[in-house]
A and B are shown apart, each in its own frame.
Chain A
C-alpha cells in the first residue's frame, strides 16, 4: 500500500513569510504526528492529531499550527518564518493500535529553507 506522502519535498521561503506543509497518511491510519529535525536539536515533536483532534502539542511557539481533515490528511502551517525554522519537517502516521511510535511510518519529509 502507499506510504506516507509529504508535499512539497523542498521549499525555499523568505523570512517573514508563511508556509503550509501537507501530509497524507497511510490509508486507514488516523493518527498523524509532526516532527522537526535539525542538526543541532535532532527530532523534536510538534503535534499529534487523531481523528481531527489535536491530542498533544510540543514546546514550539504559536507560529506553528496544524490541523487534520476528515480524510486524515494533515497540514502544518508556520507563520512569520524565521531563519531558525530551516529544518526537515517529518510527518509520521500510525494506526494507533499500539503505543506511540509503534507502527510509526515516516514520510520522506519536507526540507524547508528560510533565507
Chain B
C-alpha cells in the first residue's frame, strides 16, 4: 500500500514566523509532488507543485524535494493568520493518473 505520511499537528506558530511542514512518501515511482491547502469546510486548493530535487519558491512558499530520502517539505515564511488551514501533501502514483494524499497537517497561526 503506497502511502504519504504527515504529522497531523496541530502546528502552532506566531504571526510572522516560519512554518515548516513535512511529509514522506513510500512509492519510489512517484514523480510529482504537491501541496494543497484546505480551509475548514472547503475543498483543497493547489499551492505548490515540485517535480525535481531541490527547492522551488513561490512568494512566501518554498517547497523542497529530496527523492533519495523520499521527503517533501513546505516552508511558509512570514506566516499570517489567513494561512491557518490543513495542508495536504500529495504524490503521484506510478500510473500517473492519481494522487496519493497524506492525511494533512493542521497549521494554526496566532496573531
Contacts and interface: CB of A to CB of B under 8 A. Distances in A.
Interface string B71-109: 000000000000000001010110111111111100000
B41 to A, nearest CB: 9
A64 interface: no
A109 interface: yes
Contact of B103 (A33, A42, A107): A42
A55 B34 CA distance: 21
A102 interface: yes
Interface residues of B, number: 25
B32 A44 contact: no
B101 A43 contact: yes
A101 B44 contact: no
Main secondary structure on chain B at its contact with chain A?
Answer: loop
A81 interface: no
Interface string A86-115: 000010000000011111101111000000
B98 A58 contact: yes
B91 to A, nearest CB: 9
A42 B88 CA distance: 9
Contacts of A99: 31-32, 49, 51, 92, 96
Contacts of B31: 99
Interface of B: 1, 31-32, 34, 42-46, 49, 51, 88, 90, 92-93, 95-104
Contacts of A48: 97-98
B92 A101 contact: yes
A27 to B, nearest CB: 19
B29 to A, nearest CB: 13
A35 B99 CA distance: 9
Contacts of B101: 35, 42-44
A67 B108 CA distance: 39
Nearest to A107: B43
Given A43-B44, A56-B98, A100-B99, 4 more contacts: A42-B88, A44-B101, A90-B43, A104-B46
A34 B36 CA distance: 16
